[in-house]
Structure 1
Amino acid sequence: MQSCHITVVFLLSSYLALSSAEDRVGLETIKENNGKNIYLDILSEMDKQQFFNSMLFLYRGCINDSRIEQLFTYPKPKVIGSCIQDFNYHRVFNGELLTVFIADGILDYQLLQTTAGILDYHRQTRIMAVALNIQHQEDLKQEFLQLCENYKMTKVLLMFLQDNEVDALQYYALKPYPQYHWLEQSLANSQETLWYPHHWLNMHNVSLITYTSQDPPGAILYYNGQGQLKTNGYVARLIQLFAEKFNASLQMYEPLRLDKIVNHFELNELTIAGKLDIPMAMRSALIDGEMIRTSAYYELSYPLLIVPCATPLSMHEVFGLLLNWYFFACVLLSSLLLSFAHSLIDYYLDSLLYHLNFVINDRVLPGVLGQSFAPRDSSWRSLKIVYLLVSFVGLNVSTQFSANINTLFTTLPYHDPINSYEDLRHSTAKIILPEVTAKTMIPILPLFGKSLTVVENGTLVYEHIRQFNNSYGYIISSSTWNHFDQRQQFYSQKKFCIVRGVQFIAFMLYCIALPPHSPLKEPLDHFLYRINELGFRQAWQSSTFNDMVKLKNITLIDENPPEDKRVLRVEDYFWIWLIVAIGCSLSGSVFLVELCMAKF
């Protein structure tokens, strides 16, 4: 714990060293003439109301006012910046911060812009603006108010320093809702109220621009009984409840249309561009540093590769499995060996010579196939042994063939399942992936081989997923898979299966994307912690599934029910037709050859 504290102080000191010599001020405690340190008391009261870890000072030039110097004596690590130093504070440090902005004589626009950049995506940071030597206070108030609204700063105090009397210290508290305005305060009654209240607890019906995706179960659109277009889904319900909880209203970016599919990639791009205040869609925080540009996590998930499940073999595939090369090799080799032995005995013992019988013997081949055959009447025991071997071979072939055909036709076997990248590369399955997702998986894309297809149109991919199209495989989150698995639990044959041997990163954080300088990060983070704690997401997911069934967006009826009995069709006899065709062609060819030989 001590080493961590030293590291933080060292990092803060490194930023302090960046400031110029003229910007540094003495950190010795300076007392007012009456012996009371006014600003140390103010900072102490702020620290008691809401703890802060460090202080950020932003000013230009040299500060000689003793009242300002008191701020530097507060016992907290400090970062001193100027208009030429720009960095993102929360990319380096993770802690509560109090920012002190000093305006001497004029309002420094460039310095305020630098302040906004340093506090990027952390608009809940408390800001104390201290103004001294200001001749036109009303003009500065209005200019500063406009800049606060432009940069979406919400927790700001503006203090004009005129004298050292405690009772004369007047300050202005920024109120961002429903419109940006100043509320005049005095130090005399500051003990009764919070220095930096949570204004977002009541947004006074301010309009938040939003839009919904149609990526079930996150968000769906449907018409209710009154013909009104409504939204549902565990992401859409989150945003709706957020607006209701903090007294805000939601305004759609454009009119909703049931036939217009907008996926979460497009909504996140609109949000990053600043066109949406809060989208009804989630964003994966895969890229380093993206967490500061999003809310706290809403869903902890992990990616899965799903492919069409292995299907039963068709009838002609079963015949192909039975009449494979191993079966024909056994029959031909046994027939050839026994025909050769039979013909050899005929030749040496009975002086019978038929050259073709050395290859195919009409007394041997039927027996090898398990059929009845007519043995030649002979007293030779060796020939009787050959016939005995023919009978045993035929019995073995017919028994195994009958057992296999009964088993395979009773319970059809399945194609080989896909369990690894190797299986995927050698299968006919095709994986389609949006280009946006593919960019985050560049190192492992070669493992998919030719089975992967990257498409630029991400909407097309999510339309296939929404329609439960098992012509392709997809990479989806575990929550989407739970939705898939819940849907197909009533099917006799599942349409999608997980590739167990393919694993990606351990988990993914799904958050809500926010526009630049969004003031909604603090209330949304606070809200998400409570939602996850109370289990609302799981309840909303179940509710969305039930609604999708009621709306007939999904069906629980088995799309491929098992067939108990059916009549064999022409295509089922594929191998039989093939054998008949080959046999007729071969016998016809031999007949023509023999006919020609007989004539010539």
Structure 2
Amino acid sequence: MQIEEFAHRKNLKLKYLEGNGSRDEQVDMELRLRLIGKNNLSAHLGFVNPSSSSTLIVIVPCGKGKSLKDIYKQMDIKKWFAYVLVLYVILILVENFILLVTCRINAQSYRLRRENFLLNLCAFRAILGMSFPISQRASLSQRQLFLAMSVFGIVFSNFFSCKLSALFTTHPNRPQVTNFEELRASGLVVTVDPLTRGFIENELDADFFHRTLPRTETMNNTERSRLMLSFNTSYAFIVFKETWRHFSYFQHNIGRKAFCTSKDLTIVENLPRVFVLQNESPFLWPLTKFLMLLQEADITIHWAKGTIEATKKFLNITYPANFWSQAVPIQVEHLTWLGYLLCLGYGLATIVFIIERFYGARRNMN
């Protein structure tokens, strides 16, 4: 777009040549910014635009954290509930057995009450680690049982709380790769386009891919763009930092954070890039000044913002309906689950209070 705009302003007619033509068929300028290496630095140093410096980085799939569903599965709530139910029944049976034996020893009559067997609030609160009143007429055996119940309830509730806290604070299922050593250990395939790979091998380090990124696959830009925009997290990508900035903005807009990067995944920083022209080209200085004006006016940034969408349309990439999650401010509807939870808690507390008052009144009448 920069070259086309330059040609339009200068009333130039562009002639596009494809393939590997002979020397007489080579174009005067390339339509792609090329990195300047140590071999051609002196030839282009005077025409370097400070705004065109680029950084090569590696973007990797983001870490996949635990969801509430994963935590629910690891907690195994059904098994915990079964343990609590069995323990609740055992405590009720032991308490009623102690009451029965104590009454027989003291030659007193004992009548099994439904509230002591079906809804024993003392045993229920003990399991939850809560305090509960003890009758002054309770025997020594009952007091010992209540003490054991309280100690067990404290240990049980704290153990459950510690396990739940540990599940919320443990590392994610698939942590994000933050450096090249972790990238090699992860087994991810790193993709790179042919020109960038040739620059790294010829200008930076000939053994870079063999030593640092052994699992590298060379793909053309069309194939790499298709993988990135399809959010295929089986690959990592070597890209320019400018490309990553616009792709990150695209991820934010659709609410789909699939790829991330790290400062330790930088290959090379602040390398100058220029349009390569033929020797003694008359367009060298005019093009350099024109590019500086475009970048000073932020026109190139405006163009780049639409690059992702244009590429997606060109590759005919579509997403399912549930893929999009447009970010919106927090609203009252988002707190509906909290209201349900509060209503459930207050409802249970009210039911327990009514039951206590009802059985308390019946006990006083008897």
TM-score class, shorter: 0.5 to 0.7
Change in Cα spacing, 1:288 to 1:401, as seen in structure 2 (3 Å) is farther
The aligned counterpart of 2:292 is 529
Counting only pairs closer than 5 Å after superposition, residues 169-180 of structure 1 correspond to structure 2 as none
Change in Cα spacing, 1:417 to 1:368, as seen in structure 2 (3 Å) is farther
2:180 to 421, 431, 445: 421
- Relative CO higher for 1 or 2, CA cutoff 8 Å, sep ≥ 6? 2
Q: Distance in 2 between matches of 1:467 and 1:272?
A: 39
Counting only pairs closer than 5 Å after superposition, residues 37-48 of structure 1 correspond to structure 2 as none
Pair 1:282 & 2:33 matched:
yes
Q: CA deviation at 1:239?
A: 0.8
Change in Cα spacing, 1:525 to 1:498, as seen in structure 2 (3 Å) is same
Pair 1:541 & 2:258 matched:
no
The aligned counterpart of 1:292 is 43
The aligned counterpart of 1:302 is 55
* Structure 1 unaligned spans of 5+: 1-236, 255-266, 324-330, 332-364, 565-600
- After the TM superposition, which segments of 4 or more aligned residues of structure 1 sit over 4 Å from their partners? 269-274, 314-317, 365-372, 374-379, 384-391, 402-409, 443-449, 515-519, 543-558
Could you say which structure has the larger radius of gyration? 1
Q: Distance in 2 between matches of 1:428 and 1:320?
A: 28
The aligned counterpart of 1:353 is none
Q: Distance in 1 between matches of 2:211 and 2:156?
A: 43
Q: Distance in 2 between matches of 1:369 and 1:517?
A: 90
The aligned counterpart of 1:480 is 243
Paired AA for residue 10 in structure 2: F
Paired AA for residue 486 in structure 1: Y
SS at match of 1:311: coil
Q: CA deviation at 1:250?
A: 0.9
The aligned counterpart of 1:246 is 10
SS at match of 1:392: helix
Counting only pairs closer than 5 Å after superposition, residues 84-163 of structure 1 correspond to structure 2 as none
Contact 1:322 1:405 survives alignment (8 Å) = yes
Counting only pairs closer than 5 Å after superposition, residues 5-404 of structure 1 correspond to structure 2 as 237-254=1-18, 275-290=26-41, 292=43, 296-297=48-49, 299-313=52-66, 317-318=70-71, 321-322=74-75, 372-373=89-90, 392-393=151-152, 395-398=154-157, 400-401=159-160
Q: CA deviation at 1:394?
A: 5.5
Change in Cα spacing, 1:307 to 1:545, as seen in structure 2 (3 Å) is closer
Contact 2:190 2:217 survives alignment (8 Å) = no
Q: Distance in 1 between matches of 2:234 and 2:271?
A: 26
SS at match of 1:469: coil
* Structure 2 unaligned spans of 5+: 103-139, 327-333, 335-366
Q: Distance in 1 between matches of 2:263 and 2:196?
A: 20
Q: Distance in 2 between matches of 1:397 and 1:289?
A: 71
Q: CA deviation at 1:238?
A: 1.0
Please, what TM-score do these two structures have when normalized by structure 1?
Answer: 0.36
Q: CA deviation at 1:474?
A: 1.0
Q: Distance in 1 between matches of 2:317 and 2:25?
A: 35
Contact 1:271 1:513 survives alignment (8 Å) = no
The aligned counterpart of 1:464 is 227
Paired AA for residue 417 in structure 1: Q
1:454 to 209, 216, 221: 216
Q: Distance in 1 between matches of 2:285 and 2:187?
A: 49
CA deviation vs aligned residue, 1:203-257 (integer Å, no higher than 9, x gap): xxxxxxxxxxxxxxxxxxxxxxxxxxxxxxxxxx211122223332012225xxx
Question: Aligned residues, how many?
Answer: 272
Change in Cα spacing, 1:483 to 1:555, as seen in structure 2 (3 Å) is farther
Q: CA deviation at 1:511?
A: 1.5
Paired AA for residue 178 in structure 2: N
CA deviation vs aligned residue, 1:178-222 (integer Å, no higher than 9, x gap): xxxxxxxxxxxxxxxxxxxxxxxxxxxxxxxxxxxxxxxxxxxxx
Q: CA deviation at 1:516?
A: 5.7
Q: CA deviation at 1:515?
A: 4.3
Q: Distance in 2 between matches of 1:426 and 1:387?
A: 54
Please, what TM-score do these two structures have when normalized by structure 2?
Answer: 0.54
Q: Distance in 2 between matches of 1:487 and 1:464?
A: 15
Change in Cα spacing, 1:462 to 1:494, as seen in structure 2 (3 Å) is closer
Q: Distance in 1 between matches of 2:184 and 2:162?
A: 34
Q: CA deviation at 1:278?
A: 2.0
Change in Cα spacing, 1:542 to 1:403, as seen in structure 2 (3 Å) is same
Change in Cα spacing, 1:500 to 1:553, as seen in structure 2 (3 Å) is farther
Q: CA deviation at 1:433?
A: 2.8
Q: Distance in 1 between matches of 2:251 and 2:155?
A: 43
